[in-house]
Amino acid sequence: MKDSQKINIIGGGVAGLAAGIYGRLNGFDVTIFEMGQRTGGVCNSWEIAGYNVNGSIQWLVGSAPGIDFYKMWKELGVLDDMDFHYHDSFIEYKNIQGVDVHFYTDPNRLQQHLLSISPVDARLIGDLIHNIKLLSEANLTIGRAFDLLHAGNWTKVFTENIFGADVLEKYNHMSVRNFAKKFKSKIIKKAFENFWSPDMSMSFMLLQLSYAANRIAGYPIGGSGRFMEQLTKRYTDLGGKLVLGQKVTKILIEKNQAVGIQTEDSICHYSDYVISACDGTTVLLNLLEKNRADERTMDAYRTLETFPSLVYFSAGINRTFEEVDSSIIGLNIPLDRKLRVGNFKHQRVSFQIYNFDPTTSPLRKTLVTAILDSDYEYWKKLHDQGEKPYSKEKSRIGKELLKNLEREFPGISGQVDFIDIATPITYEKWTGNHNGSYKGWLPTPESTKTKISRHFPSLKRFYMAGHWVATGGGLPPAAYSGREAIQEICISEKILFEADTILK
């Protein structure tokens, strides 16, 4: 078989590159077609005024041993020569009056701190810490596509992780907002609601806290750009082919079998298998013929909630910020007044102050970023009205954020090298993601119950990968789905999947 079976992959983000690397490790002839001028997709960095703006990774789950994803990143070659920074706090929640809440990554320290704020919540705090610890001891990822697991694998997964699995099952159906309501302390309640997205499932939040507790999720020095460089290098070093600046417009099908892709220049590129590793809605509605996906999957795409579209604020500041403790999400501060961003109103914002990564800025200067949830429709309308209103709105948001930073860091307004605002339109243009969403499906109690198909009985030799087929999104599930697509192809070729280190 070696090199005689050809795989075309649509999209050169983390999922496409991971599929490409495992494809090459298993001897396939692989070509990735990427519509952008560089690889990375959502996970990217860009240069402004001598700063290296990190556009994605805040942490990489699996940066250290203790979780299967670590072995996957080793296989993918991204950990070689990479330094990681481990934060002591998940988020620093600042109150103007009253007590600040520090979401320490060390569970014991977190427990003491929360108890010092609200002794009456001792029982709930105790439960929270107990569950974080239980999950920290479990390893809930598995080394094979779910469809490919046999009874022996399942037994191993459950017997090793029975307590962790119980915790996840219990909290899968509860949102963070509903969990927050249980606290008697208003300060803690509010802090939980602002931790991340309040509609997210509580089990997802517990998992994140357990990764932080285990120090298995670090920030790669050099950010998203450096991470993607490593991944791309591994792929091309293995002999993978990369076609940049070529948008795929169609998946070619003959006799219910994918036989290749067509690019926007109308050229057909034939292959034995096709893997789509780009926006799921585009694939199902535009690249495939109608009625290829099953009704349940189509329904999921119509009804499930996506991660919100983002406004991404970045600023280059001529200042060092030595006084700020680093944290995974950043310094969460209240705003003077509600800030309207599209149809969303923000009362608080988390600023990431990159005083822990010198590669993101010139000497003695600092990159500062903030992620603000917004909505695609608002920005689309504004953008359609022309460049002037669109730019004016971006500029208003930038100024408001700076004004609030001034309160925390007096003098900062005079130290600005640049301010840049990316909107859902920017994300859509760069990556093709539906409504500019940056992570696919939000892990809500509803979506965690829904199975989204990655291949369809009526279409052979076609597989889907990426954050649209892995609820909760993020780099590890996206990369893992690329790995799984190659595992499926190996099964259909009746060859042993290589680099299969995880369940051994």
Ligand X SMILES: Cc1cc2nc3c(=O)[nH]c(=O)nc-3n(C[C@H](O)[C@H](O)[C@H](O)COP(=O)(O)OP(=O)(O)OC[C@H]3O[C@@H](n4cnc5c(N)ncnc54)[C@H](O)[C@@H]3O)c2cc1C
Please name the residue ranges forming H helices in 118-183.
122-137, 151-160, 162-172, 176-180
CB of 188 to ligand X, least distance (A): 24
CB of 197 to ligand X, least distance (A): 13
CB of 207 to ligand X, least distance (A): 12
Cβ nearer to ligand X, comparing 15 with 129: 15
Instruction: Name the 3-class secondary structure at 178.
Output: helix
CB of 286 to ligand X, least distance (A): 8
Cβ nearer to ligand X, comparing 104 with 211: 211
CB of 402 to ligand X, least distance (A): 19
Half-sphere exposure of 305 (CA within 13 A, CB side): 15
CB of 476 to ligand X, least distance (A): 6
Do 114 and 127 meet the contact criterion of CB atoms below 8 Å apart? no
102: which 2 tokens?
Answer: 């520090």
Q: What residues contact 491, with CB distance under 8 A and at least 6 apart?
A: 148, 497
Residues in the chain: 504
Do 305 and 441 meet the contact criterion of CB atoms below 8 Å apart? yes
Cβ nearer to ligand X, comparing 13 with 164: 13
Return residues touching ligand X (CB under 6 A). Answer: 10-16, 33-36, 41-43, 56-59, 247-248, 277-279, 282, 312, 371, 431-433, 438-439, 466-467, 473-476, 478
Cβ nearer to ligand X, comparing 42 with 274: 42
CB of 43 to ligand X, least distance (A): 4
Cβ nearer to ligand X, comparing 442 with 478: 478
For every residue of 16-65, which 3-state class applies, written as one string? HHHHHHHHHHCCCEEEEEECCCCCCCCCCEEEECCEEEECCCCCEECCCC
Do 443 and 208 meet the contact criterion of CB atoms below 8 Å apart? no
Cβ nearer to ligand X, comparing 114 with 469: 469
Cβ nearer to ligand X, comparing 176 with 278: 278
Rounded to whole angstroms, the Cα distance separating 463 from 147 reads 13
Q: In the 8-state DSSP scheme, what is residue 350?
A: E
